Chain A
C-alpha cells in the first residue's frame, strides 16, 4: 500500500462518517501489515502516543472545567463582572467578554464556554433589549477566549504532537487571548455608540463587595493554575491536578457540588478524554508512517519550491487551517495537520511556539463557521434558533477575530514576548 492510497482511504473514511480515530487507524493498520511490520508494533506505537506525562493534563483540565461548571463558577463570575462593568453603555457586551475571560482560567474548551456561559448571558442580554443576533454572535466570539487562554486543551495537544513546552505555549497564549478581548471590546464600543437606548445597570459598591466576596474562590483559581505554571512551581500536568482538587473543594465549600454528582463528573471526564485520546493514539501511528515515508520532508520541499517567503507560507497556513477547522473537529484537524506543516514552518524560521498559537487560534475560529462549527450548534440549542440564524449573528464578529489572527500571525512578538520574559 502506498502512502497516497493511505491518505485517500483516510480522507474517504472520514467523509463517510467513520469515527476519525478508526478512519486513521484502519488504513494505517492495513499499511503496516502490507509492509510486513511485526504484529503488535502498531498497538505499541498507538498506545505509546497516549502514554505521555504532558498529555495527562488533558483529562485533568477537562475535569477542572466540569467541576467549575458544576460548582457554579460561571454564575459567580457573571455576577461579579456585571457589578463592575454594568454602568457602561453596551455594558452587557463588555460583561459577556469579561465573563468568558474570567471563566477561561478554569476552562479550556470553547464549547463548554458557549454552553455554560452562553446559557446565562444570552437570555439576560435579550431580556435587557439587546438584539438576539448580537448576543449570540458575541457569545460565540468570546467563547474562543477559553481555548486560547491557558489552560487550553488544544494547546496541550499541540505541545504533545509538536514536542514543544506546554508551559511556553501557555505563556505565549496569554497576550493573544487578551488581544481577542480587546478587539471584541472595540467592536462592542462602536456597536454600542449606535444603540443609545440600551439600559445600564446601576453601579453600587455594596453589590461589588458582595459579588467579589462570592467570586473570591474563582479569582484565586488562575493564580493557582497559571501562576503555578508560569512561576515554575508546577508542571502543567501538576497544575491541572491541583486545580481539579481546588475546584472540588470550592464546589463543596459553595455547597453547589454534592458527593452524588462526582461519579457523573468523573465518568464524563473519562468519556470526553477517551474520545480525544484515541484519535491521538491513532495519529501517533500515522505520524510514524509519515516519517517512514518522509512525507513531511516531501511536503516541505513542495512548499519551499512554491515559496520560501515566511509571510506567504503563514497566509497559506491560515487559509488552510480556517478551512480545515470549519470542516473537521479541532483536535483531529490539529493531529492531522501539525506533523505535516510544522517541519515546513520551522524550515522557514517560524518559531514552533508562535506556530502553535496560530494553529490553535485558526482552528478555534473554525468552530464558529459552517458546516461543522460546534459553537454554532451549541448556541443554536441554547437559544432555540436555527443554525443559519446563529451564523448570521456570528458573521460580523469574525472581523475582530480575523484582525487578531492577522496581528498574531505577522507580529510574532505578541506571542513570544511573555515566554521570553519568563525564560520558558
Chain B
C-alpha cells in the first residue's frame, strides 16, 4: 500500500490535445478492465483449487498456473496506467524540499529514466515473444513466448505515458492515495463524518462525497 502526496505544481510543457487525452482515457479504461478481470480470475481459479480439495472434483493443476500467470500479467500490464496516474511507489521527498523549477527538472529526469528502462525491458519481452520458443507451460500448455507478451505491452504503454508526460504533462496536485484509492482531502473528511454517524446509528446531516477517479 502506498500514500502519494504531490505538492501544488503548475504543469510545464504543452497543453495536452483533446484527442490525446481521450485516447489515453480509452487506454486507461482497457487497462483497468483488464486488471479487474485478472483479479476476478485469480479469485475464481484459487477457489477452484479450494473446491477441488473439499469436493470430489479432481484437482486441476492448470488453475494454479493460470492464476500465477494472471498475477504476472496484471502486475506488469498495469505499469503504464500507474505511471500515467503517478501512482507508482516513489520517494517524493524532493517534492517537499525543491522549488517548483527543481521539481519539474527532477520529474522530467525521472520520466526519462522510466522511459529508457521500460524501453530496454520491453525489448527483452519482444525478444522472448518473437524468439519462437517451442516450450509450453506444463499445465495450461500456453506457449511461453505468449507469457511475455503482456509485460512487453505494459512496458510499451509505459514508454508512451512517459513520453506524453514529458511533452504534455498532467498535474496530480493535491492527490492523496490511500490503500488503492485516490481521494481528496475533502472526501476523507466527509467519509469520516458519514462513517461516524453510521456507526453511531445517527442520521448524517449531509453526505458530500466526491471521488477523484
Chain A interface residues (CB < 8 Å from chain B):
13-23, 25-26, 29-30, 33, 39-44, 46-47, 50-53, 55-56, 59-60, 62-63, 65-66, 69, 72, 74-75, 78-79, 82, 109-112, 115-116, 118-120, 122-124, 153, 234, 237-238, 240-242, 244-245, 263, 266-281, 327-329, 331-332, 371-372, 374, 377-378, 381-382, 384
Contacts and interface: CB of A to CB of B under 8 A. Distances in A.
24 contacts: A15-B94, A17-B92, A17-B110, A18-B90, A20-B88, A23-B113, A44-B128, A50-B71, A56-B42, A59-B74, A62-B179, A79-B200, A79-B201, A112-B179, A118-B192, A119-B188, A123-B192, A237-B46, A241-B47, A266-B39, A276-B1, A277-B74, A371-B93, A381-B178
Interface in B55-93: 64, 67-69, 71-72, 74-79, 81-83, 85, 87-93
Listed from nearest, the 6 A-B pairs whose CB atoms lie closest are A270-B35, A119-B192, A19-B88, A272-B180, A277-B75, A26-B117
Given A26-B116, A372-B91, A377-B176, A115 B151 contact: no
B8 to A, nearest CB: 15
A267 B199 CA distance: 27
B179 A272 contact: yes
B125 interface: yes
A263 B95 CA distance: 33
Interface of B: 1-3, 5, 32-33, 35-36, 38-40, 42-43, 46-47, 49-50, 64, 67-69, 71-72, 74-79, 81-83, 85, 87-96, 106-107, 109-110, 113-114, 116-118, 120-121, 123-125, 127-128, 131, 147-148, 151-152, 176, 178-181, 183, 185, 188-189, 191-193, 195-196, 198-201
Contacts of B192: 118-120, 122-123, 382
A25 B117 contact: yes
Contacts of A118: 192
A240 B39 CA distance: 12
- Chain A at the B interface: SS class: helix
Contacts of A384: 185, 189
A271 B82 CA distance: 7
A281 B46 contact: no
Given A18-B110, A63-B43, A112-B178, A278 B79 contact: yes
B75 A281 contact: yes
A192 B200 CA distance: 23
A268 to B, nearest CB: 4
Given A29-B121, A273-B75, A20 B178 contact: no
Contacts of B2: 111, 275, 329, 374
Contact of B113 (A26, A41, A329): A26
B137 to A, nearest CB: 10
Contact of B68 (A52, A123, A238): A52
Given A13-B113, A244-B43, A377-B176, A47 B131 contact: no
A241 B90 CA distance: 29
A267 B68 contact: no
Contacts of B46: 56, 60, 237-238, 240-241
Given A14-B91, A22-B114, A266-B39, A111 B3 contact: yes
A279 B49 CA distance: 28
A50 B67 CA distance: 11
A267 B178 contact: no
A20 B87 CA distance: 11
A112 B3 CA distance: 10
A19 to B, nearest CB: 3
Contact of A42 (B83, B121, B179): B121
B163 to A, nearest CB: 15
Contacts of B39: 59, 63, 266, 269-270, 273
Given A43-B128, A277-B71, 11 more contacts: A16-B110, A60-B43, A116-B195, A120-B196, A123-B192, A242-B50, A266-B40, A270-B32, A274-B35, A274-B78, A274-B81
A14 B92 CA distance: 9
Nearest to B201: A79
Nearest to A374: B3
Contact of A51 (B71, B106, B189): B71
A323 to B, nearest CB: 14
A47 B117 CA distance: 15
Contact of B198 (A52, A72, A280): A72
Contacts of A267: 32-33, 35-36
Contacts of A30: 120
Nearest to B192: A119
Contacts of B189: 119, 381-382, 384
Contacts of B180: 62, 66, 268-269, 271-272
Nearest to B155: A43
B6 to A, nearest CB: 10
